[in-house]
Structure 1
Amino acid sequence: MEQRINFMEKGQGALKTLFGMGAYLKKSPIEAKLQHLVEFRVSQINGCAFCLDMHSKDARAHGETEQRLYALAAWRETPFFSDRERAALAWAEAVTACNVPDETFKRVKVFFTDEELIDLTLVVSSINTWNRFNIAFPNPAAVGTYQPGQFG
């Protein structure tokens, strides 16, 4: 597979908003470790190789364990995740599928304030957008080259 368009180079104007969202989310009360966990799970669902590489490395840099990353696709069947994390992962999967049942909303509201839930939804929306850019305009040579914290 060849790189179609270097969107990181050619799309600076278009990506300015995404970079701004990332800067906002760094200040969010949603802990970085949970944000990376959600970003990794959504990237698994979407099959985004670059983002899987990036967020696994950033998650580990923020204290995430290999065991939890390996088991993330089966988070419902493992004892490795807190109730708050489980609620966030269920929310991330539902928002990614564009199908958010009332039951999922009620469950996540137990663990997140309104403001946190808005930020969590922005984390999910942002990574879905990044996944789509990386899938539409893949750069296979970049997969595996990411260094933790490389983009800020």
Structure 2
Amino acid sequence: MTGVNLGKQHPDLYRDVIALSKNADAAVAEAGLDPLLGELVKIRVSQLNGCAFCLRMHTRDAITRGETTDRLAVVAAWWESQYFTAQEQAALALAEDVTRLPVPEPQAWDNGSLNEQQVSAISWLAIVMNTWNRLAIRSHYPVAP
């Protein structure tokens, strides 16, 4: 057996993840963060997890929201570019911390650019995106041209 579509096997759980995802997106908006920043977080988390399905989806969503190809091209190395604001850098670093679960130490994302509500919203968004990546990867969602 190469893969089992987890959503089809347990549709109630899948619907719960959809609801959680919508709530995380709403938390981002309620925290006053740009939805485009949410897409960048989803893309970065998906890069770290190696989820081609989610990468394609959220890259397309980011382009639809007005993201540039230049910024998308360097999001995997955001810290080496001058394309991202301090808030975007903080959010991307926080999403990486949530995804990698580092040993506690001074946090690079804690530069004062995000308030507590925004830190919580980005953390939830990264947690949900990690869940989606794992669902897509474990279910072997097809990614073809």
TM-score, L = length of structure 2: 0.87
**1:124 and 1:26, CA in 2 relative to 1: closer, same or farther beyond 3 A?**
closer
Contact kept? 2:25, 2:38, Cα under 8 Å = no
**1:144 and 1:37, CA in 2 relative to 1: closer, same or farther beyond 3 A?**
farther
Q: Which runs of 4+ in 1 moved over 4 A?
A: none
Contact kept? 2:99, 2:127, Cα under 8 Å = yes
> Structure 2, unaligned stretches of length 5 or more?
none
Partner of 1:104: 108
TM-score, L = length of structure 1: 0.83
Q: CA deviation at 1:5?
A: 1.9
| One-letter amino acid matched to 1:86 | Q
Matched residue pairs, number?
Answer: 140
Confirm or deny that 1:92 pairs with 2:91: no
Identity percentage of aligned residues: 33
> Structure 1, unaligned stretches of length 5 or more?
146-152
Contact kept? 1:43, 1:52, Cα under 8 Å = yes
Partner of 1:39: 42
Q: What value does the CA root-mean-square deviation take over the aligned residues? A: 1.8
Match of 2:72 among 46, 69, 72: 69
Contact kept? 1:33, 1:64, Cα under 8 Å = yes
State the alpha-carbon separation in 2 of the partners of residues 94 and 17 from structure 1.
Answer: 25
Q: CA deviation at 1:111?
A: 1.6
